[in-house]
Each structure stands twice: as structure tokens, then as C-alpha cells.
Amino acid sequence: MKTYSIIEKFVSIDGEGPTAGALSVFIRFEGCNLRCKWCDTTYSFDGSSLVETLTAQEIMDYILATGVKHVTLTGGEPLWQKDIEGVLDLLATQSELTVHIETNGAVDISPFKTRYEGKKIYFILDYKLHTSGMMHKMLPQNLVAVTAQDVYKLVVGSKEDLETAYEIIMQNDLVKRCQVYLSPVKENIDPAFMVEFMKEKNLDDVKLQLQLHKIIWPKESRGV
């Protein structure tokens, strides 16, 4: 029977995205296909964490037992998991659940968009910019695969990143495709500077996003 390697499973508030501040049940998968310079979840792939091995049904049973209707699949990189469809197919049968998949922008979401069309399975994609060291891994096809309930989160660590993010948003008419967020690497760039940039560029259809879980709890906290 197919099993999945899970680093964490817990209930907390969603720290970012369209359900920020709402309760969500989190499933954090082991492993990632990127190595961003400022990664804050290296424990999901560096071998430092205990790994729980669960079947898709066991993951589903845990989610349903919480009674929480928002589900966040994260990592690591959830879409990098072999046969992740086994989990998603089960979740798609539960009409009361809304599922957000936090994905890093380096996995093609198109097959998943087709497979789960009409289901409440949505994608929160990162776009890694220059300071991540992983911008070359971003897939341009994802910029056109997103739809209105999806989110593109452009992760900004410098003024150069911010300028590039603006170019990507404008060149791809991104605000007409999906929800768009600018997310600062707070140790690298002042969010207030980003607000001034948004005012200068009249980015009134873009949202600045601060990670609530890092405001409420220490950065190194897990299970929150």
C-alpha cells in the first residue's frame, strides 16, 4: 500500500494566503526539489526531523477527525510526492473541505488543474525571485495555468526582487488570472518599503502579505 512521509500534522491558523487567520489543518510532507537560500523549513528535507509514514486514508482520517474544514498541504513540496494524487483524490470526495496546496512554482500544476477541475482544490504558488537562488527553476506555464481561486505569492528579498516581481505581474497580466500577493523575506527587506513601492506602481489589485504565524510565535516554532 502506498504511503507518504509526513514531517508534521497539526491544526493552527493559516498564516498566509486567502484564508489567513482562519483555522486550518496542516499536513507537511517531507522532501523538496528546491534549495532556496532563505528557506525557513529546511527541517522538511534535511533529515533532522522524525518522519511519520501514513497512507492516504490515514491522512484523510486525521483531517476529518479534526473537524476543521480548511486543509493546507505543504512541505517541503507536496506536489513532488510520488502518487500525491492518491491523497488528493480522497480529499476531492469531501465537498465540505477546501484544500490549499502550497507549492513552490517548480512543479507543473496543469495536470492537477485538469484532474481536479470543479473541486475545491486550489493552488498557492510561490514565485521565487533572485535572492532565493532558485528563480531559474520557476515554470512559466504555471503563470497561465492559474485561475481565480488560486494564488501567486511572489517572495521578495530585495529591491531587485521587487522590481522583477512587478515585471512578472504586468507582463503576465497576473491580477486578471488569480489572486496576487507580495510576501517579504522580512529579514531581508522592510515591508514598509514594499508598501511605498506598491503605492508608486499603483498595485491596488495586489496584496502585501505578512506571515501571521511568524508574528505570533518565534520563527523556529513548529506545529503552529
**Inside any domain, residue 167:** yes
Grid coordinates given for 104: 513552490
**Inside any domain, residue 79:** yes
What's the rounded Cα separation, in Å, for the pair 71 and 27? 8
Mean pLDDT score, 44-48: 78
* pTM assigned to the model: 0.93
| Counted domains in the chain | 1
76 preceded by cis ω (within 30°)?
yes
Name residue, grid cell 526582487.
Answer: 161
**Inside any domain, residue 195:** yes
What's the rounded Cα separation, in Å, for the pair 177 and 4? 32
Grid coordinates given for 106: 517548480
**Inside any domain, residue 63:** yes
Mean pLDDT score, 86-97: 97
What pLDDT does residue 204 have? 93
Q: Report the 10 Å Cβ neighbour count for 218.
A: 8
Banded model confidence at residue 220, pLDDT cuts 50, 70, 90 = low
CATH of the domain at 21: 3.20.20.70
197-206: long-range contacts, CB 8 A cutoff, minimum separation 24: 197/162, 197/166, 201/166, 203/166, 203/169, 205/175, 205/180, 206/169, 206/175, 206/180, 206/181, 206/182
Note the pLDDT tens digit of each residue in 168-204. Answer: 999 999 999 999 999 999 889 999 999 999 999 999 9
Name residue, grid cell 504555471.
Answer: 142
| Residue that wins the pLDDT comparison between 79 and 45 | 79
Note the pLDDT tens digit of each residue in 117-158. Answer: 999 999 999 999 999 999 999 999 999 999 999 999 999 999
**Inside any domain, residue 161:** yes
- 3 state DSSP class of 101: strand
**Inside any domain, residue 221:** no
On average, the pLDDT of the chain sits at: 94
**Inside any domain, residue 224:** no
Domain range for residue 32?
3-216
pLDDT greater than 70 at residue 221 = no
**Inside any domain, residue 222:** no
Task: Pinpoint the alpha helices (H) of 52-151.
Answer: 56-66, 85-92, 110-115, 142-145
